[in-house]
Amino acid sequence: MKLNSRFSAQAAGLSRRTVLRSAGAAGVLGLAGLATHRSVAAAGPLRDLKLAWNANAICLSAAPVALQRGIFEKHGLKVELVNFSGSTDQLLETIATGEADAALGMVHRWIKPLEAGLDVKLVGASHGGCVRMVGYAPAGTTSLKALKGKTIAVSDLNSPGKNFFSVLLVKAGLDPERDVNWRQFPADMLGLALEKGEAHAIADADPNLLFIERRTKGIVDLATNLSGEYAAKTCCVLGAGGQLVRQDKALVASLVRAINEASDFISDNPNETARIFQPYTKASLEDVRYVLGTLTHRNHPTGLNLQREVEFYARDFKLVNVLKPSTDPARFAKHVVVDVLA
């Protein structure tokens, strides 16, 4: 499988321009900061690392932020961002075989392939948030319980939204397989499906849902993966190849620290982050800023905290038969999570 590195060169070019702009705007302080980055990197040769990500995902802004703000270099890394738009199974296999060293992606997508035994370890996280479910007032779907007997539109029947909101339906007293109907539509047709009565709710992510809300009157927020007991849970995780983790724990630890620092930067500097990410998306600068504001960027657990969250999600996914009945959530989480910062 050949990975598409088209965004790597683009990101590197953006990095140089962004650094020059930042230095000019910040004056002496900006130059001092850049000098600090250089001095840290100069302590030893930069280590090469390929990081796979989905360049269309605003929630993964930590990757280009770390590249363009010199955060990877600060932590001794020369990172190539590799845009990957294939299936999650393919992505994790790419990491497991060493074609890419690490990747960022949604924990809701990763848990099932990891159960299959792919040699990928979860070492960090970047934020909470990502997916939402909305109802449609004209159809009377203004609560989760009101979805009984209704159709929920998704853009992918294996999507994180379907898996996650199936769990919420169970917790609301509904059977996600018998009480509702899941139907797949093209992403840009989800809103039209509501208006035509072919669906009565949507489970998807921003910015697509944001665009649908603007075009479609009567949209009602039902839940997100930050609702209730999920408010402090992570969404997108950082995974690395098992062999790399075993052989070069320090390298992986540097990557975790860099992603954590970039995530904190996003939390403190959403406007600058939006400017950095905007070239990767068709969304406007304002829309990127809005989506960033819906996420919890300082929520990036590692070690035991990450292990507990993965165990929590594993228990959830057993409720809706995503994981095998024989899978023990605690043992599973302990197996797939490695504390590289310890």
Q: Are residues 220 and 239 in the same domain?
A: no
Q: Are residues 142 and 91 in the same domain?
A: no
Prior bond of 207 cis (ω within 30°): yes
Q: If you average pLDDT over residues 236-243, what whole number do you get?
A: 97
User: What confidence score (pLDDT) does residue 159 get?
Assistant: 87
Q: If you average pLDDT over residues 292-315, what whole number do you get?
A: 96
Q: Are residues 92 and 240 in the same domain?
A: yes
Q: Are residues 125 and 199 in the same domain?
A: no
Which of residues 224, 250, 270 is at a domain's end? 224
Q: If you average pLDDT over residues 72-80, what whole number do you get?
A: 98
User: What confidence score (pLDDT) does residue 87 get?
Assistant: 84
Residue listed under structure tokens 């600068």: 285
Which of residues 169, 196, 224 is at a domain's end? 224
Q: If you average pLDDT over residues 258-281, what whole number do you get?
A: 97
pTM for the complete prediction?
0.86
Decide which of 63 and 22 is more confident.
63
Residues 127-179 have pLDDT tens digits of 999 999 999 999 999 999 999 999 999 999 988 889 999 999 999 999 999 99
Q: If you average pLDDT over residues 36-57, what whole number do you get?
A: 76
Dist. CA 38–CA 23, nearest whole Å: 13
User: What confidence score (pLDDT) does residue 43 get?
Assistant: 64
Does residue 256 carry a pLDDT above 90?
yes
User: What confidence score (pLDDT) does residue 284 get?
Assistant: 94
Does residue 223 carry a pLDDT above 80?
yes
Residues 167-202 have pLDDT tens digits of 999 999 999 999 999 999 999 999 999 999 999 999
Across all residues in the chain, what is the average pLDDT?
A: 88
Which of residues 190, 224, 258 is at a domain's end? 224
Containing structural domain, residue 144: 131-224
User: What confidence score (pLDDT) does residue 66 get?
Assistant: 98
Residue 304 belongs to a domain: yes
Q: If you average pLDDT over residues 70-76, what whole number do you get?
A: 98
User: What confidence score (pLDDT) does residue 16 get?
Assistant: 34
User: What confidence score (pLDDT) does residue 37 get?
Assistant: 44
Dist. CA 168–CA 198, nearest whole Å: 22
Residues 48-68 have pLDDT tens digits of 999 999 999 999 999 999 999
Q: If you average pLDDT over residues 39-50, what whole number do you get?
A: 74
Q: Are residues 189 and 285 in the same domain?
A: no
Q: Are residues 83 and 19 in the same domain?
A: yes
The domain that holds 184 is classified in CATH as 3.40.190.10
Does residue 337 carry a pLDDT above 50?
yes
Q: Are residues 123 and 14 in the same domain?
A: yes
| Domain count of the fold of the chain | 2
User: What confidence score (pLDDT) does residue 13 get?
Assistant: 37
Does residue 24 carry a pLDDT above 90?
no
Residue 73 belongs to a domain: yes
Does residue 3 carry a pLDDT above 80?
no
Q: Which of 336, 342, 333 lies closest to 249 in space, CA to CA? A: 342
Q: Are residues 121 and 53 in the same domain?
A: yes
